[in-house]
Structure 1
Amino acid sequence: MHTDKQATHIQSRDNALVKELRRLMEDGAAYRKHGRVWIEGDHLCRAALARGKQPSVAVFSEKFWQVAPVEYTQAAPKNIVIGDDLYASLSPLPSPAPFGFLMDLPTEATSAVQGKAAVVLDRVQDAGNVGSILRSASAFGFGQVIAIKGSAALWSAKVLRAGMGAHFALHLVESASVEDVLALQQPLLVTSSHQGDWLHKASLPWPCTWVMGHEGQGVSEALQQGAKQHIRITQPGGEESLNVGAAAAICLHASAAALAK
């Protein structure tokens, strides 16, 4: 239960912060304009704090504020308490979490980091796929994810939920170009359903950059041409292709396993 730390109570839907919260919850890309992102619920907020991320504002429903744990009421320099009915009206979710954090977008994530193993999203558009790939990247030691323009918004609510906290362990770059990827100057591994080395037989370099392509169109020709290796995953069951999230998990695990040998 929280201490007597001060909070500002809001009841008006015309309040500027309330309007900002509504836009961030309703529009998956609104964070780009506002420069900060909304994360909600125990799992995501706890994951952010565990990675040393400090929210700029903590927001609570009026009812939850009465029982909120100290770790949340002490997390931000400013606490906001919103009336229960108004708070519930902000979220498009049928059962929104009763609290969340407003966090400033990382200012350092404007370019890729040299020498850090990476995953490139080449216009991967499904939020669930993107979140899943972020989780795999974090789990298997790939410290950065680079999203080429046309990919799903990395900090949208749907990707955040699918990522399950992986965002806070990664260096994330959005709206990158093919040139940005090639400038990393580390081996580029491109997934393919019809050409290249079989993954289970391939010699995998480290650090490297794996490229995961668009759900329908695959990896762009420009990145295909820049690849050091094309990699195929054996599929004895005969399916034409794998879901990109599943393919990413298999490929990134293979890199981590090779490194561990």
Structure 2
Amino acid sequence: MTSAEPQFITSRDNALLKDLRRLAQDSGAYRKQGRAWLEGDHLCRAAMQRGQRPSHAVFQASFWDASGHDWQDAGGKAVVVEDTLFASISGLESPARMGFVLPLPAAAVLQPDAPTVVLDGLQDAGNVGTILRSAAAFGFRQVVAIKGTAALWSPKVLRAGMGAHFGLALLEGLAPDALAALQVPLLATSSHQGDFLHQAQLPWPCAWVFGHEGQGVSAALSARAARHLRIAQPGGEESLNVAAAAAICLHASAVAGAARAG
């Protein structure tokens, strides 16, 4: 349960409030603090459903007065922040009414034979979070972010991931050479070369590589790939958004894996 006696914050200079602002507004602050900020009741409930419990459950004062009783099972220290001060924490245009502070999980160890998603320099937090959701949905339990990829535990990626983080082994800041430890075939997406996805016999397990939104998969990782695959686009568009392409590819692999298992 949350603490029976919440901590009330009414000063802008409160130390915890300053830490929360950094977590919410600085994409890399989680690395320094060893904890992450989840904003919004939907995301917080998604985390709880995955067995996560916050160190602090932070509420806008008016929301606490109206709905604090709904969060008695959240765990951690309840913190109630005056409404205008809570708005100063948020990195959202329309601030949410509550959030969690979660300790970061222990660093994951690369699993050589796990179905894996490799993020190669993706910059858009929304794309990264959406791909994490697809990975979790389609049975890819390990995500490797190559150095230069958007910060996996940043508030924007967490919001886009909608709880997927807590069902995945996440490794970030790796060099391309680290992929040599993988014992599953590396599949690289391409807009212009390789087999068409719908005609390919896909291996399972495997590791899919998704590249930078503009430049695609880097030459270093493309050279490591066992296969290159592309998605047929009969409508004639030049390319797909990387998150959309990832969902298509990961679903195709999941279907192939299920068919082989059945």
TM above 0.5, yes or no, is yes
Equivalents in 2 of 1:28, 1:160: separation in Å?
10
Does residue 242 in structure 1 map to residue 240 in structure 2? yes
* Partner deviation per Cα, 1:15-57 (whole Å, 9 max, x = no partner): 1100001111111111111110000111110111001011111
Secondary structure, in 3 states, of the residue corresponding to 1:159? helix
Superposition TM-score, scaled by structure 2 size: 0.94
Equivalents in 1 of 2:104, 2:70: separation in Å?
21
The residue number in structure 1 matching 2:168 is 170
8 Å Cα contact 1:8/1:81 also seen in 2: yes
8 Å Cα contact 2:24/2:91 also seen in 1: yes
8 Å Cα contact 2:202/2:253 also seen in 1: yes
8 Å Cα contact 1:61/1:84 also seen in 2: yes
The residue number in structure 2 matching 1:33 is 32
The residue number in structure 1 matching 2:73 is 74
Does residue 137 in structure 1 map to residue 110 in structure 2? no
- Tell me which amino acid in the other structure corresponds to 1:231: L
User: Structure 2: which 5+ runs fail to align?
Assistant: none
Indicate which of 130, 145, 156 corresponds to 1:158: 156
Q: Which moved more, 1:65-74 or 1:112-121?
A: 65-74
Change over 3 Å in CA distance of 1:72–1:197 after alignment to 2: same
* Structure-to-structure mapping, 1:168-247, within 5 angstroms: 168-247=166-245
Secondary structure, in 3 states, of the residue corresponding to 1:68? helix
8 Å Cα contact 1:47/1:168 also seen in 2: no
Secondary structure, in 3 states, of the residue corresponding to 2:214? coil
Q: Runs ≥4 in structure 1, deviation > 4 angstroms?
A: none
The residue number in structure 2 matching 1:16 is 15
* Structure-to-structure mapping, 1:54-69, within 5 angstroms: 54-69=53-68
- Tell me which amino acid in the other structure corresponds to 2:89: L
Equivalents in 2 of 1:97, 1:133: separation in Å?
24
What is the percentage of aligned positions where both structures have the same residue? Answer: 62
Equivalents in 1 of 2:64, 2:72: separation in Å?
8
Deviation at 1:74, TM superposition (A): 3.1
8 Å Cα contact 1:43/1:165 also seen in 2: no
* Coordinate RMSD, CA, aligned: 1.7
- Tell me which amino acid in the other structure corresponds to 1:36: R
- Tell me which amino acid in the other structure corresponds to 1:97: A
Change over 3 Å in CA distance of 1:94–1:55 after alignment to 2: same
- Tell me which amino acid in the other structure corresponds to 2:242: V
Secondary structure, in 3 states, of the residue corresponding to 2:139? coil
The residue number in structure 1 matching 2:5 is 6
Superposition TM-score, scaled by structure 1 size: 0.94
Deviation at 1:71, TM superposition (A): 5.3
